[in-house]
Structure formats: structure tokens, C-alpha cells
């Protein structure tokens, strides 16, 4: 006499709405496993989002600038620039909020005219760190200011000195 195979755990199936659903220990274990994977995925996603938010809140923040120190740094810029008149480089009066390459009385490079940059603290910081890296083809041959505090000080000075 042959015996029918016996399941190690009690199972039964129920038909409903055209779908056969099996219940039993293995099905419950499978559901628990899927739920834990779901919660793990949710937890990982939240951790990544929180890390991104925390990083974003500090990314792009400039150190506090000292305009007095920035004025001293600006003396190095005066070989080519002036606050109120064009020289080898364009004047800086009205710099903040101005489209790069937009002064009608200055001959900018095509690269600067087409850069799409609007000058603000962040764009100035990036440009001053590496002018040719930010705008390849710019006429500005200055290597840039590598020290973040020096850039912040210069930007603080320019913000005060270039108000119209």
C-alpha cells in the first residue's frame, strides 16, 4: 500500500476570486520575510534621505566673510578690475544679481557671454576658486583663490562695495 505524501506543516488552500491562496507555516514565514524586507527597504530609504538632507543643508554654505579682510584681498584684483570702471576685467559695481557677460561696454569672451551665470555668493565662490574650470574659454587668466575663507572674505567685501 502506498501512502500519500504528508506535508510537514498543516496547509489548506482556498479558492477566491480566481486566485488560489495557500495558508500554512511556510506561507506565514514567507509573508514575514517579505514584510521585513519591505521595512528594511523603507528604513534604508529613509536613512539615505536623511543623510541627503543633512548634507544638502551644509553643502554650498560659505564661511562667514570679513569685508575688511576682503578689501585687502581685493587689492590683488585691482590689477585688472575696479569697482566703478572697466579695466582689463569688467567693473564690479552692481555685480550681484547681474548676468555674467552682460555689461554692454565691456568685451567679454563668448564663453562668459554664453555661460548663463547669474552672480551671487555661490556662483562667485565657485568661479573665484577656479575661473577657467567654471567657464572654459574665459579671458580671466587668474588661477583662482584656493582658500575658502579668503573667497568668503572677498565676496563679503564685494557685496558691500558693489551695491548701486
pLDDT tens digits, 76-133: 999 999 999 999 999 999 999 999 999 999 999 999 999 999 999 999 999 999 999 9
109 found inside a domain? yes
Q: Is residue 3 part of a domain?
A: no
pLDDT averaged over every residue in the chain: 81
Q: How far apart are CA 130 and CA 44, in angstroms?
A: 36
In a domain, 24, yes or no: yes
Place of cell 585687502: 72
Burial state string for 91-102 with b = 16 or more CB within 10 A and e = fewer than 16: bbeebbebebbe
pLDDT at 58 over 60: no
Q: Does 127 share its domain with 85? A: yes
- Classify residue 110: in a domain, yes or no: yes
Same domain, 76 and 19: no
Give the CATH number, domain containing residue 106: 1.10.760.10
CA–CA dist 164, 162 (Å, integer): 6
- Number of domains observed in the structure of the chain: 2
Q: By the 8 A CB rule, do 131 and 144 touch?
A: yes
Whether 97 and 141 share a structural domain: yes
Domain residue limits at 25:
12-56
Amino acid at each position: 500500500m502506498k501512502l500519500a505524501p504528508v506535508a510537514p506543516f498543516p496547509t489548506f488552500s482556498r479558492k477566491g476570486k480566481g486566485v488560489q491562496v495557500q495558508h500554512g507555516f511556510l506561507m506565514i514565514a514567507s509573508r514575514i520575510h517579505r514584510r521585513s524586507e519591505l521595512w528594511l527597504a523603507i528604513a534604508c530609504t529613509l536613512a539615505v534621505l536623511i543623510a541627503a538632507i543633512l548634507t544638502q543643508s551644509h553643502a554650498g554654505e560659505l564661511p562667514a566673510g570679513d569685508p575688511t579682510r576682503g578689501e585687502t584681498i581685493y587689492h590683488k584684483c585691482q590689477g585688472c578690475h575696479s569697482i566703478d570702471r572697466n579695466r582689463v576685467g569688467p567693473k564690479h559695481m552692481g555685480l550681484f544679481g547681474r548676468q555674467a557677460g552682460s555689461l554692454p561696454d565691456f568685451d567679454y569672451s563668448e564663453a562668459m557671454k554664453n555661460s548663463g551665470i547669474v552672480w551671487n555668493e555661490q556662483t562667485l565662490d565657485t568661479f573665484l576658486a577656479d575661473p577657467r574650470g567654471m567657464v572654459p574659454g574665459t579671458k580671466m587668466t587668474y588661477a583662482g583663490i584656493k582658500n575658502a575663507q579668503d573667497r568668503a572674505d572677498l565676496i563679503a567685501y564685494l557685496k558691500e562695495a558693489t551695491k548701486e
